[in-house]
Amino acid sequence: TGQVYIDGQAVPVGDAQNILEVVRKAGIELPTFCYHSELSVYGACRLCMVEVESMGLVASCSTPPADGMIIHTNTRRTRRLRRMILELLLANHDRECPTCAKNTGCKLQKLARQYGVNTIRFGNRDEKLPIDASGSSIVKDPNKCILCGDCVRMCREVQGLGIWDFAHRGSKTQVTTAFGKDLADVACVNCGQCVAVCPTGALTVKSEIDRAWSAIHDPAKTVVVQIAPAVRVALGEEFGLAAGSAVTGKIVAALKKMGVDRVFDTLIAADLTTIEESMEFMSRMENGGKLPLFTSCCPGWIKYCEQMHGELLENLSSCRSPQQMFGSLVKKHYAKKIGKTSGEVVCISVMPCTAKKFEAQRPEFTTDGVYDVDIVLTTVELAQMIKEAGLVFDDLEPAGFDNPLGMGSGGALIFGASGGVMESVVRFVSGYLGGPEVGRVDYHPARGIEGIKEAAVTVKDKTLKVAVVNGLANAENLLQRIKNGEADYHLVEVMACPGGCVGGGGQPDANDTAARVQRLKSIYRLDAVEQVHKAQDNVYVNKIINEWLQGPGSHAAHHDLHTGYVH
């Protein structure tokens, strides 16, 4: 409370926790590397230093405001200090900017320009540390790390995993995995949240752009693309549109112009997931099966559960994720329909998620020796390809998906937001059981960006206790409460990323909470105007179940759409 004076302007403190927040309220952007409102305060980068009268230079992120404080944000000393910090960081940093994946998106580069650093008085470090590209989803280049510790706190505080930590001392300090193990050999679940928060090119997404172009340019291949729910409300941001802009038709148009043969929608597989998972859930309810049932579409959550909670594997739904149901349908059925072998059809996914790259490479998801999903591109990677193709995104005339795999319900679309899978199951089950909510079911308690949501829903004579959780630290918290008998549910949805897929590690500015909220709202706006609201009303899904899979609950449906888990 009270007020402070920032560069001569009186500013109320309000509920600001530190000087940095008040300064931002005053409309002044202080530079920071290590400050994120969702993570703990670290105060390491010192870029946010301000001068406070009678205190001298202080780090604004870790100094609380006091009534009457007189603060100067732009003085000879702050300017000299910021430039010196940037220069020292650059001296110790790989400077191959034009070929860096973060070029033009790098915060170090941006701040160096902003503060006019145009010469570096110190020699560059010449020791080159090895790059770790052993994992499926993320690449670590320690030569570009500025030791801000953002990845360390993100992985520990939001995902509860603590894959990264500081090792060694002084000028040898590095951020690394335990015992310096390769990324492929640690418990990392590939969520990409550390990549999203990394200000430089030290952590980047493993690109599959070259492989995608090779497939598109190969005349012997039929290239089929699926687009995940959360991509369509985020990709526009890469072309300067507001967060949450819906650009579905433009994405389809761009892919066609790039030379893709068929553009399909993951939504059709999400509807299939809703149906299969709801049937599994109702059968467990009726037959005394393992409960709570946990959703299984998030590959980060699945890997986490396999590694940390072997005792819960029977509680996981056996449904493959929509991405993998789609891949399975394409390779086992669609390829035949168009007279091709599974090897002649290349299935590319566009996902908001980096862990989907890992999921696609799980050995169980193959048909006749080839992967069901061959290539996974993130939202940002697809945007990059659209730029490379020279397409003016704004000018693209929206196009429609191809059939028979191009149509999904509103219930499938909301999979992209935390709570969406839960709501779709509620829509299906209440319709199926003929409860009071047959028709247009909206289930608001499942919605929103909060980390843990709990509710009870009554369908006919049954009360279902449900929980929705995002962020693996929140999930762990919930699991412990279940274990200790403090909580008990029938159905739990888990998504690893904050806000669900809209906040996936492959999205533009994946760490931007305001953008996540806009994307979430956009998804529900699109759902509200969608004519087909529930999975069971999607005629294309019913056709596929009956004509390709020999009816609901058949052996084929089980074989093609379900999976198992490993300890």
Minimum distance from CB of 326 to ligand HC0 (Å)? 8
Q: Which residues bind to ligand SF4, rule: CB under 6 A?
A: 138, 154-155, 159, 161, 163-164, 188-194
Q: Residue 94: left if φ>0, alpha if ψ -120 to 50, beta else—which one?
A: beta
Tokens of 209: 């752009």
Token pair belonging to 12: 């109320």
- Residue 467 has which token pair? 């929980």
Residue 298 or 396: the one with the smaller Cβ distance to ligand HC0 is 298
Question: Residue 259 gets which letter from DSSP?
Answer: T
Question: In this complex, which beta carbon is closest to ligand HC0, that of residue 18 or of residue 266?
Answer: 266
Nearer to ligand HC0, 317 or 367 (CB): 317
Cβ proximity to ligand HC0: between 6 and 491 the closer is: 491
Cβ proximity to ligand SF4, 154 vs 541, nearer residue:
154
What is the C-alpha separation between 395 and 53, in angstroms, rounded?
A: 53
Strand partners, 166: 175
Tokens of 298: 């998030």
CB of 183 closer than 8 Å to CB of 136: no
Q: Which one of ligand SF4, ligand HC0, none is in contact with 194 (Cβ closer than 5 to 8 A by kind)?
A: ligand SF4
C-beta of 33: minimal distance to ligand SF4 in Å? 17
Q: Say which entry of ligand HC0, ligand SF4, none residue 415 contacts (CB below 5 to 8 A, set by partner kind).
A: ligand HC0
Give which of ligand HC0, ligand SF4, none residue 356 binds (C-beta under 5 to 8 Å, depending on kind). Answer: ligand HC0
> What's phi and psi for 464, nearest 5 deg?
-100, 130
| Cα dihedral: 267, 269, 272, 278 (round 10) | -80
CB atoms near residue 401 (< 10 Å)? 21
DSSP state of 404: S
Cα 230 from Cα 243, distance rounded (Å): 12
Residue 139 bridge partners (DSSP): 204
What is the C-alpha to C-alpha distance for residues 366 and 368, in angstroms, rounded to an integer?
7
CB of 31 or CB of 249, closer to ligand HC0: 249
Residue 353 interaction partner, one of ligand HC0, ligand SF4, none, beta carbon < 5-8 Å per kind: ligand HC0
The Cα–Cα gap between 516 and 42 comes to 24
Q: Which amino acid is at 29?
A: E
d(CA 242, CA 218): 35
How are strands ordered across the β-sheet holding 462-470? 293-294, 491-495, 462-470, 452-459
Token pair 């001298």 is at which residue? 56
CB of 205 to ligand SF4, least distance (A): 10
436: number of Cβ within 10 Å? 10
Residue written as tokens 């200090």?
81
Which residues are catalytically annotated?
A: 277, 280, 297, 317, 356, 359, 364, 501
Closest CB to ligand SF4 among 81 and 186? 186
Question: Could you tell which of ligand SF4, ligand HC0, none binds residue 155, using a CB distance below 5 to 8 A set by kind?
Answer: ligand SF4
Smallest distance from ligand HC0 to CB 28, Å: 36
| Cβ nearer to ligand SF4, comparing 329 with 355 | 355
Q: In what order do the strands lie in the sheet with 375-378?
A: 262-265, 222-227, 345-351, 375-378
What is the closest distance, in whole angstroms, from the C-beta atom of residue 506 to ligand SF4 in the complex? Answer: 11
Sign of CA dihedral 141, 145, 148, 149: positive
The Cα 252–Cα 263 span in angstroms is: 6
Q: Which does 236 bind (CB under 5 to 8 A by kind): ligand SF4, ligand HC0, none?
A: none
Q: Which is nearer to ligand SF4, 65 or 451 (CB)?
A: 451
- On the CB side of 31, CA atoms within 13 Å amount to 22
Residue 297's binding partner among ligand SF4, ligand HC0, none (Cβ under 5 to 8 angstroms by kind) is: ligand HC0
What is the smallest separation between the CB atom of 50 and ligand HC0, expressed in angstroms?
Answer: 40
The β-bridge relationship of strands 222-227 and 345-351 is: parallel
Residue that is written with structure tokens 């590959």 in the block: 299
The backbone torsions φ and ψ at residue 240, rounded to the nearest 5 degrees and listed phi first, read 85, 5
Closest separation between CB of residue 458 and ligand SF4, Å?
A: 37
Residues that bind ligand HC0 (CB under 6 A): 228-230, 266, 270, 297-298, 321-323, 351-353, 356, 415-416, 421, 500-501, 504
In the complex, residue closest to ligand HC0 by CB: 501
Provide the residue type at 551 as one letter: G
Nearer to ligand SF4 by Cβ, of 62 and 134: the residue is: 134
Which of the choices ligand SF4, ligand HC0, none does residue 235 contact, using the CB cut-off of 5 to 8 A by kind? Answer: none
What is the rounded distance in angstroms from the CA atom of residue 9 to the CA atom of residue 28?
Answer: 11
Residue 382, phi then psi, degrees to nearest 5: -65, -40
Give least dist CB 265 to ligand HC0, A: 9
Q: Least distance from C-beta 33 to ligand HC0, angstroms? A: 28
Binding site partner of 138, from ligand SF4, ligand HC0, none, Cβ cut-off 5-8 A by kind: ligand SF4
Enter the tokens of residue 475.
């999930």
Which listed option, ligand SF4, ligand HC0, none, makes contact with residue 244 (CB within 5 to 8 Å by class)? Answer: none
**Contact call for residues 243 and 519 (beta carbons, < 8 A):** yes
Least distance to ligand HC0 from the beta carbon of 138, Å? 15
